[in-house]
Structure 1
Amino acid sequence: MKAPQIPTNETIRLKALKEYSVLDTLPEKEYDDITQLASQICGTAISTISLIDENRQWFKSKVGLEVAETPKEYSFCGHAIVDPGQIFTVKDSRLDERFQDNPLVVGDPHVVFYTGVPLVSPEGFALGTLCVIDNKPKELSQEQLKALKALSNQVVSLFELRKSKILLELLTADLENRNKELEKFARVAAHDIKSPLNNISGLIDILLEQYSFSLDDNAKMMMSMLVTSSQTLRELVDGILEHSQSDHVLTEKKSVFKLDEVVTKSIELLDPTNQYHFIKEYKAPLITANKIALQQIFLNLISNAIKYNDKERVEITIGFSENADFYTFHVLDNGAGIDKKYQEKIFDIFEIVANVDRFGKKGTGVGLSTVKKLVKGLGGKINVQSTKNTGTTFEFTIAKQDFL
């Protein structure tokens, strides 16, 4: 018996094999279908998907064979992987000095005929073989060899899919960890920034209350500017925190609820004194969705419709429709409108179009970015239609899904 040669690239070949994380895994139907088909096409009693590591030949899938692995030095496949570009065939092992006294020939499973197609990775490393075996002499036709080669390509494709899936899972886990770290940082940063800001605002209020008589108009104006700047920075911090937590909001379970519950609650929070005029263009639909995410979307859109409205009578219309696949919502206002050249930019984080809102405050450029992120996470899209000085309509969709 002659043991197989060690491939010249053995170290990196083994590294490539282990990157697939397939050794010692459980049987899988996709692989078993291939070995079954190979055995039927070639008319052999045995077919295997064999992988060769440092010490053994391990079978990912097998037909007509009971053992899970054999020693590497006994393996026919060990010979086959030495030349990845060639199909390795032994017509009658009893007449071949390399194999005639091999334990796999003189004992079970009595290998006489063997043909193995190397399983070659995209980088050119032979990982093992797809092989067919019989206990009598045999020779495959060109059509059978061609079919066997095609099946071997499918095995490698399955390996590649497995590796891609593993990589994707690792990247997803890493991204989730990074998002958790970012969210934690945002919470800590929000607390650490807002605390001194609150102290500054409090001290300015005390100064204005107790020492206003000794301050001139210029000093009072500067104090007022400090209060405004502190408030703007607090709002920016709140916006960044809301944006960072939007991924967490999207993990909330879906529920069945009345749309008007969400709309009415949003209006009550943003217009507690009933200063503005709201029109509801829907009846009382029941919808199945992520209620918390939808609430956050409406709060942002309605808040903007109020803040950036330059009319004495603020009118906001909220509408709804649906089809087989999507819920569609719109929030329409009669405000200042958005210049066409800015309509795509408004969804970019920190992009600020208006100088100040109706209350004299400058926006943070975070709200609409958060809205777009939430809508996209809910399987929908958002767009804006606006005419300068006549109003703006935000329309967004949410994909319908079964209630879970």
Structure 2
Amino acid sequence: MEKERNRLSDLLNYRILDTPPEEELDDLAQLTSAVCDTPVSIISFIDEKRQWYKAKVGVEITEVDIKKSFCRYTLNNPHDLLIVEDPFADNRFCNNPNVTGKNGIKFYAAAPLVSKDENVIGTVCAIDFISKKISEKQKLALKIISKKVMQYLEIRKKLNDQELELDLSAKRLKKLTDLAPGAIFKFSADDSGNMEFIFLSDGINNLVKKISIDDIKKEPKLIIDIIHPEDKGLFIQSFQESFEKIIPLDIEYRIMASERSIMWHWLKANPEKKGNGVVVWYGTIQNITQKKKHLETLEQMLFDLSHVIRKPTANILGCIDALKKGDGSDKETKEMIALIQNQTNDLESFIRNLNSDYFNLKSALKKKWN
């Protein structure tokens, strides 16, 4: 039972059952008939219930119940041909309805299809309705054809496995890109003005509400239509410069999210020059609306704080000047003037540092985004 489970598992790994005809195997089935001089030849695969015909010559049916199958007797003999020159003289087949019926099988020869794990997954067989024999050279040819079938199946399996792995990798990558903040894209343009989003992640749906991702892929220029009129010229100019000089793109621009709503986008992309005047950009688009608002709020707060403090500071300095112009000869007045002077100087220094910190913070935030 364990051996049969392994055999069936091996068979399934080839992903061959119930697949459409393939020219390479059809040709090998034709070759089998020609070599063995038989009206019927079949390349088949055997699962737990049936013998299924992948390629066939001279027969219309596509499968037979495994209980009526000749080929099931090859399953435990991976290195031997199964030659039946007189099925009526063989107890395994003499009562088989495919033998006893009208135009029954009178000759059968099969070479097992053996996997790398020594499992018989199917056969290449030749069938005739008259008694006959085949030569040693024909038997050798049958074995060679079965090996060619397996070589084709191994190549086919590798290609299928690679395709499956690529498909899985693509699905994993899509999951990652869809979870990434903003949108990830691969965009191409040529010197004739043709443009295409080769790849665009679903994150674009959160950045552009007015246009669907399908519409953007069909007509990339729709993105330009929603850019704020004051930023559109710079956007186009930056892309043109990147196209001509093959330099990175780094643009902050506004889009019209709705009639009354504006959203800030930040686009970064690296270009790569291809043949035939084509340039491809690999990049990201992010929503920096909140960052812009935070920066503007911080700027206004520091500006207000600076100006609020500057006014009383100026008044205090004026009072100090007035006190200095007075008599100010007594010790207590001089000490008070000195104290106020020191405190005011400290306050003035704090304001200067506050302004400096603001510009440093603004610069640091921009570097962090980049």
TM-based fold match above 0.5:
yes
Q: Tell me the SS of whatever aligns to 1:136.
A: coil
Find out whether 1:48 has 2:35 as its counterpart: no
One-letter identity of the residue aligned with 1:171: E
RMSD of aligned residue pairs (Cα, Å): 2.6
Measured in 2, the distance between the counterparts of 1:166 and 1:131 equals: 26
Given the alignment of the two structures, is residue 86 of structure 1 paired with residue 221 of structure 2, yes or no? Answer: no
Match of 1:25 in 2: 19
Pair 1:197-2:291 in alignment: yes
Structure 2 length normalisation: TM-score? Answer: 0.56
Secondary structure, in 3 states, of the residue corresponding to 2:11?
helix
The CA distance in 2 between the partners of 1:194 and 1:108, in whole Å, is 81
- Residue in 2 aligned with 1:328? none
Give distance in 2, aligned partners of 1:100 and 1:137.
14
* Residue 135 (structure 1) aligned to one of 129, 132, 138: 129
Structure 2 CA distance for aligned equivalents of residues 193 and 66 of structure 1: 62
Corresponding residue for 2:281? none
1:229 aligns to 2:334 (yes or no): no
Cα distance, 1:157 vs structure 2: 2.8
Instruction: Answer with 1 or 2: which has the greater Rg.
Output: 2
- Cα deviation for residue 155 of structure 1 reads 1.6
The 8 Å contact of residues 42 and 55 in structure 2, kept in 1 or not, is answered as yes
Q: Hey, what's the Cα distance between the residues in 2 that align with 1:183 and 1:145?
A: 57
Cα distance in 2 between the residues matched to 1:109 and 1:160: 36
| CA distance, structure 2, for counterparts of residue 104 and residue 67 of structure 1 | 13
Alpha-carbon distance in structure 2 between the residues aligned to 1:152 and 1:108 = 30
Q: Which residue is 1:207 aligned to?
A: 301
Change (3 A) 1:10 1:168: same
Quote the residue 1:162 is aligned against: 156
Structure 2, unmatched stretches of 5+, are 184-283, 311-346
Moved over 6 A (4+): 189-193
| Structure 1 position 99, deviation (Å) | 1.2
Using the TM superposition, give the Cα deviation of residue 49 of structure 1 relative to its aligned residue in structure 2, in angstroms: 0.7
Provide structure 1 residue ranges, at least 5 long, that are not aligned to the other structure: 1-6, 236-404
Structure 1 residue 228, shift from structure 2 partner: 1.0
Is the CA contact 1:197–1:234 (under 8 Å) kept in the aligned structure 2? no
**Aligned with 2:156: secondary structure?**
helix
User: Would you say how many aligned residue pairs link Structure 1 and Structure 2?
Assistant: 229
Contact map agreement 1:92 1:136 (CA 8 A) in 2? no
> CA–CA distance in 2 between the matches of 1:169 and 1:33?
25
Alignment equivalent of 2:355, drawn from 196, 205, 220: 220
The residue type equivalent to 1:18 in the other structure is: L
What are the residue-to-residue correspondences of 1:355-366 with 2, within 5 Å?
A: none
Q: Is the 8 A contact 1:197 1:230 kept in 2?
A: no
Instruction: Report the AA paired with residue 96 of structure 1.
Output: D
Deviation at 1:209, TM superposition (A): 1.5
Q: Separation in 2 of the partners of 1:191 and 1:25?
A: 43
**Residue pairs, 1:145-156, within 5 angstroms:** 145-156=139-150
Q: Percentage identity across aligned positions?
A: 34
Sort the Cα spacing of 1:24 and 1:191 in 2 relative to 1 into closer, same or farther, 3 A.
closer
* TM-score of the superposed pair, with normalisation by structure 1: 0.51
